[in-house]
Amino acid sequence: MRILLSAVFLFWALGLQAGGLSPQEQTLVDAVAEREPAARTLLERIVNINSGTGNHAGVKAVADELAPAFEALGFSVAWVDGKAFQRAGHLLARFGDRGPKLLLIGHLDTVFAPDSQFQRYQVIDERYVKGPGITDMKGGNIVMLMALQGLKDAGLLDQLQIQVVLTGDEEDRGEPLLFAIEPLRKAGRWADIALGFEDGDGDPTTAVVARRSSANWRLEIAGKPAHSSQIFREDIGHGAVYEMARVLEGFRAALKDEQLLTFNPGVVVAGTDVALCDDSRGTAFGKLNVIARKAVVEGDLRALTPEQQARAWGIMEGVAKQSLPHTRTRFTHTDRYPAMAPTDGNHALLAVYSQASQDLGYGPVRAVDPRRAGAADISFVAGSVAQALDGLGLMGTGGHTDEEVADMHTLKSQASRAALLMHRLAQP
């Protein structure tokens, strides 16, 4: 069924001709625009609620503000308590029993803790507004809601089956990971199409058809301690630091030509006695005249496809095994976010979205460079659905900093494009 859907959408997208909006579609666009003033008020309200991932009460408070808006559209709403994965939880909403099955994805949490100095919605001028999480991604949640409200007001919402998942831990994933992501993955197994309302690269002329994976790796290296004057002796060897340098340079040399693959050693500790804690804080003790006994390195890896990631792991394991004399290296890795591969189905969905944008007068939309789109919730479901598209949210700059600014001119345009996309996906 999903292969068929992908082929149908691809055929349709390739055959589209720019023809403007039908009267029904114009009604939809007008309905979205009428919702903008109330949407801005709701956005200000939720931006002013601190919902840093660790502030469980704040995350739940944002959910409590959004839930009634979904219920007013006829959605059934549920809260998944996050105690089992050490987070606040997730907000789920469901609607409809006919038409294409759409999964709409957002998140409730931000990177700003309660003690951050950046806490309030601040109007800069008639176009720009500053605020914690305003683009990443409270604004995206409002874009999603405006699109659904427009569909409802235009009498078009019942052409779709929709599940909404607003996670409470996108910025700092809960543990165990499988518990944290199960509601999202379950919705992905149900859906035909996934739409993500992150802000992508902040450019309204782009959308996301591919996201690289996010995974962690670790090197634990043991050497033979001795007086520094004896290093390189046949019975002493090279020590842990030279072995560490060999492995890291081996990674670089072997993988440097892999397109869109990155692998970064982010934390290094080395010496006679070392420790590296779960929060990436390390300690090391050693002496200048003693060969290092131990080194620990932790880093991340980003790959465009599952196949590329698996190939990289194999190469890195092979490099690590070729230890220098009297050293021993243990290489381990942990997958976190899977890759959202750039499939034909995703590109076909982008073509439909781009045509909708052009018919609305906003111009074409192209695929964003995957280097400019980090890992996100949609990655957990992209492999389960026929089509996936992300970066549909409120645009702006400065995400994850106290200079996070939204371009409010994109609120209506993004919501209109999303609403028209969903409507067109419902057409036979």
Model pLDDT for residues 192-227, shown as the tens digit of each residue: 999 999 999 999 999 999 999 999 999 999 999 999
- Classified as helix, coil or strand, 76 is strand
| Cis ω for the linkage preceding 137 (within 30 of 0) | yes
State residue 2's pLDDT score: 52
CA 14 to chain centre: 28
Instruction: Give Cβ neighbours of residue 329 (< 8 Å, ≥ 6 apart).
Output: 219, 220, 221, 222, 243, 247, 320, 321, 323
* Local confidence band at 45 (pLDDT 50, 70, 90 cut-offs): very high
Inter-residue contact 149 to 155 (CB < 8 Å): no
Q: Which residue has the tokens 């409470």?
A: 168
Gap between the Cα atoms of 64 and 79, Å rounded:
9
- Could you tell me where the DSSP H helices lie in 232-343? 239-255, 306-321
Strands (DSSP E) along 141-277, which ranges? 161-167, 193-196, 206-207, 214-222, 262-271, 273-276
Per residue in 325-358, pLDDT (tens digit) is: 999 999 999 999 999 999 999 999 999 999 999 9
Domains of the chain and any CATH numbers: 6-211+340-425 (3.40.630.10), 214-337 (3.30.70.360)
The strand pairing partners of 69, in sequence order, are none
Q: How far is CA 381 from CA 162, 242, 378, in A?
A: 15, 42, 6
Q: How far is CA 307 from CA 174, 258, 369, 379, in A?
A: 26, 12, 19, 15
Average pLDDT over residues 372-376: 85
How is the chain split among helix, strand and coil, in percent rounded to 5?
A: 40, 25, 35
Inter-residue contact 319 to 247 (CB < 8 Å): yes
The strand pairing partners of 107, in sequence order, are 167
Gap between the Cα atoms of 372 and 277, Å rounded:
30
Per residue in 138-196, pLDDT (tens digit) is: 999 999 999 999 999 999 999 999 999 999 999 999 999 999 999 999 999 999 999 99
115 C-beta neighbours (distance < 10 Å), count: 9
Instruction: Give Cβ neighbours of residue 235 (< 8 Å, ≥ 6 apart).
Output: 326
Gap between the Cα atoms of 48 and 56, Å rounded:
15
- Write the burial class of residue 69 (CB in 10 Å: 0-12 exposed, 13-18 middle, 19+ buried): buried
* Local confidence band at 310 (pLDDT 50, 70, 90 cut-offs): very high
